Amino acid sequence: MTGPRHTAPKFTGLVTALPATVPFVGPEELQRKRGAPFRARLGANENVFGPSPRAVEAMRQEAAEIWKYADASHDDLKEALAADAGVAPDNIVIGEGIDGLLGYAVRLMVEPGVAVVTSDGAYPTFNYHVAGYGGALHKVPYSDDHEDLPALIARAGEVSARIVYLANPDNPMGTCLPGAEIAAALDTLPEGCTLFLDEAYIEFAPEGTAPDIAPDDPRVIRFRTFSKGYGMAGARVGYALGQPEVIRSFDKIRNHFGMNRMAVAGALAAIRDPDWLRSVQGWVRDSKQEITAIAQENGLSVVPSATNFVAVDCGADGVFARRVLAALAEDGVFVRMPFVAPQDRCIRISAGRAEDMAILRDALPKALEKARQG
């Protein structure tokens, strides 16, 4: 007697055709490959200064209640965010970081063949979601290290795109567009096209970067997070702002019990502690000045940054920058770099503590020398 015959699972044609890749290789995986921890973790744009002590205490207290699911409506957090942003709670949906929310939003709008426009070299996780639903990605190059919003919108009109993705401030270059320019550009969006405005770094940007857009404007969905300014990247808490009808559509497909109860409690405490956020903003500003000084000491220039990282121009091409990156990694300094030329002439260094900056000051000249030797 023989047992049942087992066959391989039957995946969809789309999934079968997709490469088994991830948008980023995490620092933990890189550490395992190199067989040692990094001395300075300055590559993932995490906020090394950490969350508000009030947020930490709130999460600690909530640990005893972790046997419960989180409130699927997230009403308390939405009310606090609404008060902070000057909108109504029904303008907000909570999700598993911007990455999770982008996945939901793409699922709402993208099916095989649907055109989507983004910048060539912009945040790759968005592209990952679009590919996962069979969308047709159309890319526009950067202009002077800035995302080119008029060109993005023009391409959207050419291909009848359903989505234009724009990060402001931008990752990986750290540049930003004036908010007034973005608000005005909404009037040039093609009919039926939605602007996905990723504002992950908005807490670090100069006044006027966040556009003045009516919360009920159906042409835009804004994405924000507790991962950057609030120092809670590991908690995975993000939120989207949009027209109530658009926001309610997320309820059709989101994971209603996907949020961690402790993380939501921490986010609520964090939003109620603006003094800590102001302190973090000051520490980040000081660290970026230190990164700039270290770069200049080594004959390098930087791209002005509206984020918590600095793109350092290595003064050559992507091949040379990758040598610098590899040499830093060998010396225990984790940084990343843009993927696409000419932005790949740079390495991207996250703000860090004084001890991180001391390690960087020691490591960078050695890495540059090693890169120049080929």
- The mean pLDDT of 256-267, rounded to a whole number, is 97
- Residues recorded for the chain: 374
For strands 309-313 and 301-303, give the pairing: antiparallel
- Dihedral over Cα of 149, 152, 154, 157: its sign: negative
Q: Which residues contact 49 (CB under 8 A, 6 or more apart)?
A: 231, 279, 280, 283, 284, 353
Q: Which residues contact 356 (CB under 8 A, 6 or more apart)?
A: 40, 41, 42, 48, 287
Instruction: For residue 354, give Cα distances in angstroms to 237, 305, 361.
Output: 28, 19, 10
Give the bridge partners for 336, in sequence order: 348
pLDDT for position 23: 80
The structure's pTM equals: 0.95
- The mean pLDDT of 340-364, rounded to a whole number, is 98
| Confidence check: pLDDT of 3 > 70 | no
| Confidence check: pLDDT of 256 > 80 | yes
* pLDDT, tens only, 99-110: 999 999 999 999
- b/e 100-131 (16+ beta carbons within 10 angstroms → b): bbbbbbbbbbbeeebbbbbbbbbbbbbbbbbb
**Distance in angstroms (rounded) separating the CA atoms of residues 225 and 94:** 10
pLDDT for position 2: 63
| Confidence check: pLDDT of 5 > 80 | no
By percentage, how much of the chain surpasses pLDDT 70? 99
| Confidence check: pLDDT of 15 > 70 | yes
* pLDDT, tens only, 182-234: 999 999 999 999 999 999 999 999 999 999 999 999 999 999 999 999 999 99
- The mean pLDDT of 312-325, rounded to a whole number, is 98
| Confidence check: pLDDT of 96 > 60 | yes
* Closest to 169 (Cα-Cα) out of 205, 117, 212: 205
Instruction: For residue 281, give Cα distances in angstroms to 200, 202, 307.
Output: 14, 11, 10
pLDDT for position 19: 86
* Closest to 317 (Cα-Cα) out of 341, 348, 349, 292: 341
**Distance in angstroms (rounded) separating the CA atoms of residues 338 and 322:** 10
* pLDDT, tens only, 19-42: 887 788 888 998 898 899 999 999
Q: What is the mean pLDDT of the chain?
A: 96
Structural domains in the chain plus CATH codes: 19-49+275-372 (3.90.1150.10), 53-272 (3.40.640.10)
| Confidence check: pLDDT of 1 > 70 | no
Cis peptide before 112 (omega within 30 of 0): no
- The mean pLDDT of 279-296, rounded to a whole number, is 98
pLDDT for position 58: 98
Helix (H) or strand (E) holding 360: helix 354-372
3-state secondary structure of 70: coil
Burial class of residue 373 in the structure, from the number of CB atoms within 10 Å of its CB (0-12 exposed, 13-18 middle, 19+ buried): exposed
**Distance in angstroms (rounded) separating the CA atoms of residues 211 and 56:** 31
